[in-house]
Amino acid sequence: MKSQRSIAVLGAGNMGTALALVLARHGRPVNVYCIESDVEDDINRRGRNTKYLRGIGIPANVRAHADIATALRGADTVIVAVPSFAVLEVIGLAVPHLTKGATVAIVTKGLDEKKLLPKVEISRNLLPAPFRTRTFAIGGPAIATELAESKPGAILLAGKDTTSRNRLARLFANGTLKVAVSDDVRGVGLCMSLKNPYAIGLGLCDGLGFPMNTKAFVLTLALEEMGRIVRAAGGDATTITTLAGLGDLVVSGFSSHGRNRTYGERLVKSRTKDPTRLDLITVEGIASTPLALRLSKKHKVRVPLLTAINACLTADARFERPFVEYLKHLSLL
């Protein structure tokens, strides 16, 4: 009997574990690269990941491995789900062990500090040439816990090669998860990276006790600014209203799960900007905000809302003040 090709997931956090669960439903071996020995043990011995995805059982065909070569052995599909700060290092480690013909899909958000391009594009360019057209960005409103619990939703796969994109879409799609596709890797990558700074702004609205009308107004301003940056930086103007733009921004800025939104909320009246002291682990918007601002300046895009959010993150005290001042003096004309 022909053995089934495996799927590798690089990263055993909230999203990596959730995507491993989605893909495990096909019954194929899913090998997760995991650098934390307690998490590896939890997955392999107890069928759970208490640290990152509490309360959800993990089936036996999902195995965690501390060795990236083992996780990648024989994998025809590789999902990259590590945080922004680690993605280039992990891609570098993965390259020598990729199976010929494998498809790569990256869910990591964030902008590269030097090139001011989405990390997903920089990651793709680190791969050997034959893998690049088969590398995809996974965008859209994808709260890991909801994916893991099979709640209805949709993601967006962006990449050029239609054959491998359709194959990947079939792998993710199931009765509850729909998969949309796009050619606009730049635009989707930018939306994935820009939504976190604006989600912090939407969190500031919550911390300040603003009603829904005000928050919807700020959301609209955020979407307009994001659209201008995406267009100026080479993305497709229509991507802003897709799952990757509007969809992800709504989820990130309104969901109680959103780490960036929660960070913004907790920043109000706080004495600290340190996310760990605010009970939060990864808040990618903190690093992305100044980079998004640099990107806007590079392309001469006016972004007063983003500028105000960045000023909150650089303030020494009364962090919410620049945001409140911005809204007070806002002119819609």
Ligand X SMILES: NC(=O)c1ccc[n+]([C@@H]2O[C@H](COP(=O)([O-])OP(=O)(O)OC[C@H]3O[C@@H](n4cnc5c(N)ncnc54)[C@H](O)[C@@H]3O)[C@@H](O)[C@H]2O)c1
Using CB under 6 A as the binding rule, whether residue 15 contacts ligand X is answered as yes
Q: Which region among 8-16, 121-129, 211-219, 237-245 touches ligand X (by CB under 6 A)?
A: 8-16
Stretch that binds ligand X, among 14-22, 224-232, 269-277, 294-302 (CB under 6 A): 14-22
Is-contact 219 203, C-beta < 8 A? no
Contacts (Cβ under 8 Å, ≥6 apart) of 6: 28, 29, 30, 31, 73, 74, 75, 76
Indicate the residue among 45 and 300 with the shorter CB distance to ligand X: 45
Contact (Cβ atoms closer than 8 angstroms) between residue 240 and residue 232: no
- Residue 259 vs residues 34, 56, 242, 285, 308: alpha-carbon distances, Å: 22, 20, 22, 9, 19
- 160 carries an active-site annotation: no
- What distance in Å separates the CA atoms of residue 298 and residue 182, rounded to the nearest whole number? 26
Q: Which of residues 135-164 bind ligand X (CB under 6 A)?
A: 142-144
Least Å distance, CB 213 to ligand X, is 27
Per-residue mark of binding to ligand X, 27-66 (x: CB under 6 A)? --------xx---------------x--------------
Stretch that binds ligand X, among 82-90, 160-168, 236-244, 325-333 (CB under 6 A): 82-90
C-alpha 186/C-alpha 190 separation (Å) is 6
Q: Is 193 in the site for ligand X (CB under 6 A)?
A: no
Please give the Cα distance from 292 to 283 (Å, whole number).
Answer: 15
Q: Does 113 sit near ligand X (CB under 6 A)?
A: no
Q: How many CB atoms lie within 10 A of CB 67?
A: 12
Interface of this chain with ligand X, residues 259 to 288, rule: CB under 6 A: 281-282, 284
> Active-site residues: which are they?
195
| Sites of contact with ligand X (CB under 6 A) | 11-16, 35-36, 52, 81-84, 86, 89-90, 107-109, 142-144, 281-282, 284
